[in-house]
Structure 1
Amino acid sequence: MAHSQMAAHATTVSHQARVKNMGIRQPDKRHEDKKSKAEIGGLGSNNPFQFSGLCSQVPHPRIPTTEVTTTDDPTPPSLLLSGEQAVAPDVPAYDFFEDGTYASVRDSISDGVVDSSGRWLPCGPFSSAARFFNLRPTNTPEHNVTRPNPYDDTSYSPYDDRALCLTHMLFHSPEISLSEAQQLAVLDWAKELGAENVPSMYALQKCDQKLANLMGDMTQRFTTQKGDIYYVNDIGTMLKQDFSNMNLRKNMEFYPRELDGSVSEIWHGEKMLKGDNQEQLTPMTSYSGQSYFVNEISCLADGSYFIADMFIKLRGELSARGYRISPHPELGQDHFVYSSQLSVESLSSFRKTCVQLRSSHPNGVTIVGDPIFVSITEQRGATDWLQSHPLRELAAGREVYSIPFILFVDDVSGNTSKQWNKHWCCYASNAALPRKELNQRSNIRFVSTSQHIDPLEMLNGVCKMFEQAFDKPVVAWDAALGCEVLLRPYIHVISGDNPMQAIECSTCGLLSNFCCRTCLAGGQQKYKRSDEGFATLMRVGTLRTPNNTIESIDDQYKIAFTSNPTNRLALAQRKSGVKDTIAQSVFKQISDRRQELEEDTTLSEQEITLQLQREFKSKSEGPGRMNPLLSLKGFNVHLDTPTETLHTILLGVVKYLWTETTQNLDKSGAFSLFSTRFQAVSVSGLNCGPVPAYITNNRGSLNGKHFKLLVQTASFCLHDLVPIELIHTWSVLGRLAVLAWYPSIGNLDSYEQELQQAINDFLHMIARTVPALIIQKAKPHLLVHMPLFARRFGPLLGPSSERYESFNSTFRAASVHSNRQAPSRDIARTFALFDVVKHVMSGGTWYDSKKGGYIHAGSSIFQLRESSPLTNRLLGVKKQAKPFGTANVLSSSVSLSREQLIAQGLEVQGLLTTSTIYPAMSFAAQNGDKITSGSNIIFTKENTTCPVLGKVRELFADGKHNGTALMVTVQIYDWVELDCTVRMPAVCLTNKVQAISGLAVICEANLQHRCAYVGCMDTGSAPILQERQQTGMMQATLKHNDKINFIVNILSFHNCIALRKLCEGQFGCYDPLIALSEYSKIQQDGAAAVRNSKKPQDAKLDDQESNIGNSKQTLGLSSVYTEHVQTHTHYSPSTSKPKVSGRLGAQKRKRGKNTDDANGHVLRAPSFPQEEPLAPYVPPTLFS
């Protein structure tokens, strides 16, 4: 009875309406593991009745099982079990017994009922068994009915909900690295606060797997020839992410670009612009729906034929460079001759492709009589020039782009503590992005790391990955074009510190006879001390080539198979300056094997040599026998590892000059006075914080940031303390450093000439003051190649390693939070997951194999980017600066009328009578600098572009909230003379006051007080601050005697181009310091000074060089490693031994055997075999 009443009532109209109005609830899969067994009727639950399907009879031990006849009616949305197998319901089952509509039926059911068919209903109406009773309501409506699920919002796809999305992004952001304990603490904290839907660690781990599978496993396993295992993240996957992310794709450039001598990006450099790597450049372009490839014949608008060898952009217009061809006068219309003159044709003049020309030349086209085209024809493997480019068929109408990459390789500690835990690391950057994007940490990609292999072995796998992706282009979704494209990545330039780049170039290192990786400058110590040898170190020598380096390594392989090769190998390496770490390991194996054969067999020397050649044939003749960079297509390892600004200038010559200066100050007892002056320098306009006392208190443990401040300001503090030549050396070095940090180059020819002049001035000033530095350190010589690299790659900041050194902190965090059992694999997968999370949250697309197309994240994730500051911080998106001219006004400011300003003598054009004017605290200049009262600014006069120098007195804005800086009152500076001490222009503050528009302010300038001229002394005093409180102790301070005499600091890195335009032509402050006619005399005097100061140790060094062939040589620490140690140490003025300062030095002395670097890491010998230095390094008397 009860059954019939319920079944009848289930067919009523009210139930049909209820089913129609309710939505289908999606499964809460994230919480499925939390369901009790009673809820799902599983084994072991409190429910004694198990079921296997909707239509299955629920058995009971007290009654016989009866077969139930079912109908073929469609299953309603509340009952989603069908057939003989239970299926997880997509919606929660509709609870009949909880519905008030069925109260009368529910009340008629007793605790135990037997229906008309003999089936017994156990327990009460609310029991779990009764809830699974087999009811069949009426058919559902034909249309799909949906009901929102608060726990599963597809708008956060691929995440299940908002809570999981935000939590997972927080735990996998490289900006905030959390350990597992910290992650658990965050989850517990959220639960204690009563947050809903807090995911569990298990759910987050499942989410890791889900997201890692979105774009496939991008971490690949590699094995070296020795059997070492390491992992590399796939370059192709990185490219797919970049191209499908509109935020990055819109900024990319794929063609070399010429801007009438202006250079600011890597694609402006001559390596790309002149086609030095022509095979690697983008091979095609599209115009009017047609694809044009290089090395194909195209028809121009005038009917002539043209063969493009590369595509470039000239003044913003896409063009093709190549050769025109014309019909042969005698051989017929299918034979052509070429014009030997390269020409450039605008792409707008292209009309037909080689495919369209086939109908006009059914017999094909032949170009005769030219070696250039004959060689190209041989490479193509065909004589018919109407045959398509190999990529045309593969592209199938899609665009094909070549993407340059910058690689960085260095040794990095995997610990955040002082304990040195060396990992060789490789990072990469997409060089198709402008430098502004390259410098963002979020755009640096981790490639590989390993503790077990040499860096060249790691690069071997990385190069193979690049070559495979280049030969078989990567298919990616182009967010800008909205279609698929083919991508060919290639290595354009490799950055790193000098010891690392010496290894990459297969040279002997910075302490060897031939210390330069770019040229062959150098020689034995005796030659370097001669007039001729000393002079060669101050100019560019014969450039090295990969072919010559390969020949030297092959010659060393021949020597390695001879008897007693150690001596001969050492001599060959010293003479050529070539030493390959991969080949060195093979040489060691050959030597060990020879020793075994000599001890265990009776073979003759010749038979042993033949045996060794057979055993090591694959290793000595195969492609892996030496540095893979030497044979990399389109890559010249000696020219594509440019001089690096951070390690060569700041951590190189600036540190050397700082050491020499402090030694002079210590000798005269004037260092305390220098410290007082240095604390008083102005940092306004330098874009840095206050002058840290750390620089003078820990002068031997400085980093790049400290040296950058020193090179800009030290020359203003040295008057009357050191010789004037040393001050001039600081000034010249500052001018050189500013040129190296130019963000853009207006005229490349003028820049190259000025940079070369600054380098010459500095080297010759060093030859005057510390000539021993020229022959004992390699970094001064490396400076001579900077003009070449500026022309080849654009501004030297492009391939700079500063951005990658900053990224090392992210790597250390990933290393510390790994399990340390498989560091190469685990760290690579960690960064791969970082990239996937960033890609998803940034709006990138990916291919979904199930849907057969490209998809992106849900709409709510896009909204997070716009509304959530937390999301942007976790993704590394920098906060946008205030728009140009935006002013900051206090809420308590009182408005002023136009009449009040005019009464004060202040008026500016464009000021309306209705304007509401408020005094402002600050505003943003054209370049984003924050301008306040008292700032020294560069502005332009009304209706002119002439820059003027002034000091801000008052600021006025037209509103309280994000108002515009309407007017600025400025006190004008007058030019006075060239200050003879620092060789910079001096100015004087006048009483002239001028009202200018806030929109005319270009930037802030740095001015230093003219203390040497005015005679300022350290007669002031101020209380010493400790714990942000004044103590009873006093310290000396510098007291300025006036407030009107200043020097324009042309050594400022910040706004250097604006300062150059301001000061150019003022008293010749940018003129050369040393005349060309003086070079020879200075070089000879420097060489003589070095020879006269030669110590017994130097004579011993010469003896070792002369007897190199008569004594047995052993393989020990390389000069590369020794230079790395010395790079992170300094020399105390009182001793000639290397010394590490501060607490790191104390730790080193306590430990005894290891040497710490400036970051507290213990430096140990590299794992690869190295050569022994010529002799223990002996520092000069006054300099390290």
Structure 2
Amino acid sequence: MKAILWVMEECGTPDVPSLTALRALQNKLVSNIGLKTESHTSSLGNHFCMNNPAQLFAMDWANPLVREHMNIYPEITNKVSEPWQAGKWAKDTDLDLLSPMWADPIKAPHQHFYIKEIARLCSGQYIIPMRWVKFNKQLYAEACDVVYNSEMPNPIRQAAGGRHAYTLFISPWCDDVSGNVSKQFNPHVNMYLANNSLPHQKLAQEFFVRFCSTSPHASSSEQLDALSSKMKPDVWHPAYDCVLKEEIIFRIIPYTFPANNPQQSETCSHIGMHGNFFCHRCTVGGSATEKETSEGYQALFKPGNARTCGETLGVVEKQLWTACLGVQETVDALQSMTGVKDKIASFWIDKCIIKAREIQNEHISNVTTHDPRLNKKTLKGDARKAVKADIVQSIQHEVFDWLLTQPAERYDALPIDSSMRTHLRPGDHYNPVLAMPGVDIHKDTPVEILHTYLLGQDKYVWYATHNEWDERKQTIFTTRLQSSSIDGLTLPSVRAKYMVQYKNALVGRHFKTLQQLGIFHLYGDLCSNLIFDLWRATGELGAYLWFYEISDMDTYLADMEILIESVLDIWALIDPARIIQKPKLHTLPHILQDIRRFGPPILFATEIFECWNVVFRLCSVLSNHHAPSRDIAMTLADMERFKHQVSGGWWKDSNGEYVQAGEKVRKFLQENAKLQRRLGWVSKNILKIGSVKLLPKKKQTSKMWCELSDNDAAEPLPMGQLWQLATYCVSRSQDVCREGSWDLNVTCGRIRKIVVPETLARTCSGGIALIETFRVLSTAHERLNMPILLRSSDTPAVTPVKTMDILFLFNAQHDCTQGNCGATGWRSVHQERQTTSLQERCIVHEDDDRFILNMHALHNAALIRDVLPRSLTKPQRYLSNRSSKLNEISESLRISGPAKRAESAAKAAETRARNKRAREAQNITQAAIQMAAEDVDDSVNVAEQGNQYGLDSTMYLA
């Protein structure tokens, strides 16, 4: 910033402020907005700073670009595409945690109707509303007759003081992130927030990610403890509603906790994925021997008994009580037996064990200070053991009573008559989310598809495939993959050479490419039949996971269950121990519960938070690293202030009036694409259905129909007019369709040209697409299990279709196995947006008549399955006799498993023995060198000892 100001001065810019003056103005503006960076001290003693989440979300209410998209009430609908339409919000959430009131903003904005209060209908009937819901885009009250005994008026009415009162559901995201751009890891634990009242289309933009806190010291549990004080049902926060043009109050309730698998384990007070009980959602697992039994093995293929917050909390409390005995092994055994390990509790467990041992040493072991009862010489045997046990028990109570008073400053702040003085407290002694209202943390940490599927299942199948390849096979796959058609896939350019060269270092976007395209190129000797079947099952399941809308929840989940079973069953046939070694595979069946509870999996994906880490890293790199938590939080608070003001948000000025930035400042964001891109904002760019884009003016020429259509298609009425070529048209699904794109309309085919009559050339409101017609065969491809597209022979070769009638794009790949496309040709290499003289190999297709509709494509996956016959899309089970087959596999595993463990134990013992011999030999060598200078004879004796370890004795006599 200082350099920028200097450049402005050198350029002669008038009235350039000093850096001090600029920072002072920025701080003043942040203060005016009301966004504060607060300092917190966790129960473990770590210091960190946090931007007040209530003030962050208050800006959403006051921002017209955000407020218009916010949804406050649950919605009852058959189609599920947003959080408020899914099971938790629409069915399972406690009525008292939903938005408690409604008012007609036009007819009676100040007449507030609260739930559980008597109300009168227009008909004169009296009812009691229980909750407010949306149905068919209208707001309704679910009510009961006036026989309900409830507290009236609603206590929230008094807290509101005449203001509207709403509930805001949010999703906190936590993870460890490097503060460096380089490979040197600089660990920080970050927490970002998302407003679940916004549609997914908005939450997928970086503009709507709210930074809350970061710390190189405090864990996510400690930061969530600071956040929890703002997320209580009875804690209300003021905000200005720019739609109502008045002040409201709102409360913050957590909805989901999206994160990767290790972070979700920590959030759930779980031991992690390397424990015997490796699932943070259920109690499935056990020792290796238990998992190899028929019952234990088959249990891994489905969700087990669900963990609950109450049970987890009970185990944590038991661990803390046990730690007061001073025996670490007992606590470790409890953690291993239950899979419960709490981050905050572990800190106090260590403290309690140390303190208990110190007191036990004083009262039992130390002769001068031990309990007087132990001085009796007649006290022996069982009687003496009983006394010691009594002492240990009293010490346990003493240490536990001490624990209740920790941390001392928090204990002292409690009211003297508070019951919390005699109980373990959330946040102080254990994970605060275990006691959060409205949260069942084991259910509310949904399966995350980036790390569980792309970096889990996709990564496993990719490694199992390329691990067997030699140089020839790698070259073949590279050439085939690079020749793929990506039209209709919304993928970046395929970098096949890079993906094969760095095959063990791929990231999510690479696996998205492989998941959608890889199976088309695995013919010949590139993989076994089972591996190929695994690719097919992986691609089919992947397409379902990226549905953006679910129109029939029951059918969708039934299909998903079959697809997940197929993936797991094929793995069991390939490697029976894989599901034991890779807990992410067991996690897949849990996603069925998550989809019913939260909606399509992309709603709780974490890619946008991972992308936002770039913003955090820049703030970290540009800080002085003396107080990173404070500096980064303040920098990002200033960014939030800027975003709020430049996007037209309202704030209270020094006179107590709500104001917003001037019109020119607000237009700065709306009209400046560069600023939008830097803030992560995507402006409204709604494409008009059926519209077209003409060629550039220099290339525009008017031609007759016969010249453009090559006489392959009948001329539409009116005949004889002039036409112009277009570069693309917009389908009903708002896909951009170009020449060569595959689309579905009244026919199925590939666009040859897009033409526009001169009468519509000025408005570009519509045109004609000349489509090469293909028919969809009634039977699927035998190997790929995908629909076959065959050039139609009983219809015209090219069919003119109005651009308004094009439904959506899809991806199709040439059927190279049927066409025997084994030959390779050459094509020019493009570099720096230019065609070079270099050549690269590519596949030459022998025909242009037979293609495969790509059912592994993520784009429009739901639309494709809605249009095609169910017979072509219905999933089929891989194993018909699943239970008996898994039982047979577990029997083989009970033979191979112990043998492998014995082999591993023998290798480990051999390694330890070898390392021990090496250490002893090194000690002898050092002794020989030291003694050689004093006495040659002694060194000879030592050298003789060295011969026992296979060492050359002459080295000691040199």
Interval of TM-score (by shorter of Structure 1 and Structure 2): 0.7 to 0.9
User: What is the Cα deviation at residue 1012 of structure 1?
Assistant: 1.4
Distance 1:1031 1:874, change over 3 A: closer
**Is 1:264 matched with 2:113?**
no
The CA deviation at 1:1038 is 2.2
1:515 is displaced (CA, Å) by 1.2
Q: What SS is found at the alignment partner of 2:799?
A: strand
Does 1:605 pair with 2:392?
yes
Checking the alignment, whether the CA contact within 8 Å between 1:924 and 1:930 is kept in structure 2 is yes
Using the alignment, how far apart are the partners of 2:833 and 2:600 within structure 1?
Answer: 42
SS of 2:851's equivalent in the other structure is: strand
- C-alpha contact (below 8 Å) 2:271/2:339 kept by paired residues: yes
Partner of 1:1074: 878
**Alignment partners' CA distance in 1, 2:176 and 2:250:** 30
Judged with a 3 Å threshold, the aligned counterparts in structure 2 of structure 1 residues 857 and 524 are, in CA distance, closer, same or farther, namely: same
1:951 aligns with 2:751: yes
Residue of structure 2 aligned with 1:392, choices 132, 135, 157: 157
Q: C-alpha displacement at 1:191, in angstroms?
A: 4.0
What residue identity is the alignment partner of 2:486?
V
| 2:131 pairs with one of 298, 301, 310 | 310
Structure 1 equivalent of residue 225 of structure 2: 460
Deviation at residue 1028 of structure 1 after TM alignment: 7.8
1:734 Cα offset (Å): 1.1
Q: Which residue of 1 aligns with 2:780?
A: 978
Change (3 A) 1:903 1:933: closer
Secondary structure of the residue aligned to 1:664 is coil
User: By how many angstroms is 1:684 displaced?
Assistant: 1.2
How far apart, in 2, do the equivalents of 1:753 and 1:840 lie? 48
Give the match for residue 324 of structure 1. Answer: 145
Contact 1:888 1:963 in 2 (8 A): yes
Match of 2:478 in 1: 675
Query: Contact (CA 8 Å) 2:728, 2:754: kept in 1 or not?
Result: no
Q: Mark the CA change 1:322 to 1:513 in structure 2 (over 3 Å): closer, same or farther.
A: farther
Question: Does the residue aligned with 1:984 lie in a helix, a strand or coil?
Answer: coil
CA contact (8 A) 1:256 1:273 kept: yes
Contact 1:920 1:956 in 2 (8 A): yes
Counterpart secondary structure, 1:701: coil
Gaps of 5+ in 1: 1-182, 327-337, 339-366, 368-376, 378-384, 942-946, 1104-1184
User: Is the 1:890–1:920 contact (alpha carbons within 8 Å) kept by the matching residues of 2?
Assistant: no
Q: What's the offset of the Cα at 1:913?
A: 6.9
Q: Could you tell me which residue of structure 2 aligns to residue 894 of structure 1?
A: 701
- Tell me whether 1:636 sits opposite 2:401 in the alignment: no
* Secondary structure at 1:490 match in 2: strand
Of 549, 553, 557, 1:748 maps to: 553
State the match for 1:443 in structure 2.
208
1:1000 to 1:1025, Cα distance in 2 relative to 1, 3 A: closer
Q: Secondary structure at the match of 2:333?
A: helix
TM-score of the pair, normalised by structure 1: 0.69
**Alignment RMSD (CA, Å):** 2.6
| Alignment partner, residue 451 of structure 2 | 647
Residues 908, 997 of structure 1: 8 Å contact kept: no
Aligned to 2:925: none
Aligned twin of 2:287: 524
Contact 1:265–1:798 (Cα < 8 Å) also in 2: yes
Contact 1:300 1:306 in 2 (8 A): yes
Contact 1:546/1:636, CA 8 A, preserved across alignment: yes
Task: Verify: 1:938 aligned to 2:755, yes or no.
Answer: no
CA offsets 1:484-513 (integer angstroms, 9 cap, x no match): 111111111110000000011111111111
Q: Is the 8 A contact 1:887 1:962 kept in 2?
A: no
Which one of 568, 590, 598 corresponds to residue 330 of structure 2?
Answer: 568
Conserved? CA contact 2:694–2:727, under 8 Å: yes
> Distance between the aligned counterparts of 1:690 and 1:962, measured in 2?
33
Q: Indicate the residue corresponding to 2:315 in structure 1.
A: 552
Pair 1:538 & 2:301 matched: yes
1:514 and 2:277 equivalent?
Answer: yes
Match of 1:220 in 2: 38
- Spell out the pairing of 1:661-672 with structure 2 (5 A cutoff): 661-666=465-470, 670-672=473-475
Identity of aligned residues (%): 29
Query: Which amino acid is 1:988 matched to?
Result: L
Q: Determine the structure 2 residue equivalent to 1:922.
A: 728
Aligned partner of 1:1080: which letter? Answer: S
Correspondence 1:465-480 to 2 at 5 A: 465-467=230-232, 470-480=233-243
Secondary structure in structure 2 of the residue aligned to 1:1047: strand
- Indicate the residue corresponding to 1:207 in structure 2: 25
> How many angstroms apart in 2 are the aligned matches of 1:1052 and 1:615?
60
Number of matched pairs: 851
TM-score by length of 2: 0.84
- Residues 1123-1165 of structure 1: CA distance to partner in whole angstroms, max 9, x if unpaired? xxxxxxxxxxxxxxxxxxxxxxxxxxxxxxxxxxxxxxxxxxx
Report if aligned partners of 2:865, 2:873 keep a CA contact under 8 Å in 1.
Answer: no
CA contact (8 A) 1:901 1:907 kept: no
Q: Distance in 2 between matches of 1:779 and 1:807?
A: 25
Q: 1:1086 aligns with which of 889, 892, 900?
A: 889
Encode CA deviations 1:384-409: one digit per residue, 9 max, x unaligned: x4x31111122233211100001100
Residue number among 247, 258, 263 corresponding to 1:484 in the alignment: 247
Q: 1:246 & 1:930 partners in 2: Cα distance?
A: 29
C-alpha deviation, 1:1030, in angstroms: 8.5
Q: Which residue of 1 aligns with 2:523?
A: 719
Counterpart amino acid of 1:421? N
Aligned residue for 1:581? 343
Pairing 1:348-359 to 2, within 5 Å after superposition: none
The whole-number CA distance in structure 1 between the counterparts of 2:754 and 2:89 is 49
CA separation in 2, counterparts of 1:320 and 1:796? 29
**Does 1:995 find its partner at 2:800?**
yes
Residues 1:222 and 1:771: Cα distance change in structure 2 (over 3 Å) = same
Q: Does 1:1047 pair with 2:847?
A: no
What code does the residue aligned with 1:932 have? Answer: R
CA-CA distance at 1:674 after TM superposition: 1.8
Specify the alignment match of 1:335 in structure 2: none
Q: Does 1:252 align with 2:70?
A: yes
The offset of 1:543, in angstroms, is 0.9
How far has the Cα of 1:966 moved from its partner?
A: 1.0
CA offset digits 1:613-650 (Å, max 9, x no partner): 33222347233211100100010001001001111100
Summarize deviations over 1:794-832 as a string: whole Å, max 9, x none: 111111111101111011011111111111111111111
- Following the alignment from structure 1 to structure 2, what is the Cα–Cα distance between the partners of residues 713 and 215? 49
Q: How many angstroms does 1:898 deviate by?
A: 6.6
Cα distance in 1 between the residues matched to 2:624 and 2:153: 53
Deviations 1:1085-1119 (CA, angstroms, capped at 9, x unpaired): 3323433432655248999xxxxxxxxxxxxxxxx
C-alpha distance in structure 2 between counterparts of 1:396 and 1:546, whole Å: 35
CA shift for structure 1 position 1070? 2.9
How far, CA to CA, are the matches of 1:234 and 1:1033 in structure 2? 57
For residues 223-234 of structure 1, the aligned pairs below 5 Å read 223-234=41-52
d(CA) in 2 for partners of 1:961, 1:412: 52
1:617 partnered with 2:404? yes
Cα distance, 1:876 vs. partner? 3.1
Name the aligned partner's letter for residue 493 of structure 1. T
* Structure-2 separation of matches of 1:760 and 1:606: 51
Q: Secondary structure at the match of 1:282?
A: coil
CA distance, structure 1, for counterparts of residue 656 and residue 839 of structure 2? 75
Distance 1:791 1:611 in 2: 48
The aligned counterpart of 2:863 is: 1058
Instruction: For residue 483 of structure 1, report the CA deviation from its aligned partner.
Output: 1.4
CA deviation after TM superposition for structure 1 residue 322, in Å: 4.0
User: Shift in Å at residue 451 of structure 1?
Assistant: 0.7
Distance, in Å, in 1 between the alignment partners of 2:16 and 2:694 is 41
* Cα distance change on mapping 1:898 and 1:550 into 2, 3 Å: same
Query: Which letter maps to 1:1091?
Result: R
- Structure 2 CA distance for aligned equivalents of residues 248 and 1030 of structure 1: 44
1:707 to 2:521 alignment: no
TM-superposed CA distance for 1:198, in Å, is: 3.8
Q: Is the 8 A contact 1:724 1:981 kept in 2?
A: no
Report the equivalent of 1:791. Answer: 596
Q: Which runs of 5+ in 2 are unaligned?
A: 371-390, 407-422, 907-958
- Inter-partner Cα distance in structure 2 for 1:761 and 1:293: 49
Deviation at 1:193, TM superposition (A): 4.0
- Per the alignment, residue 955 of structure 2 pairs with none
User: More helix per residue: 1 or 2?
Assistant: 2
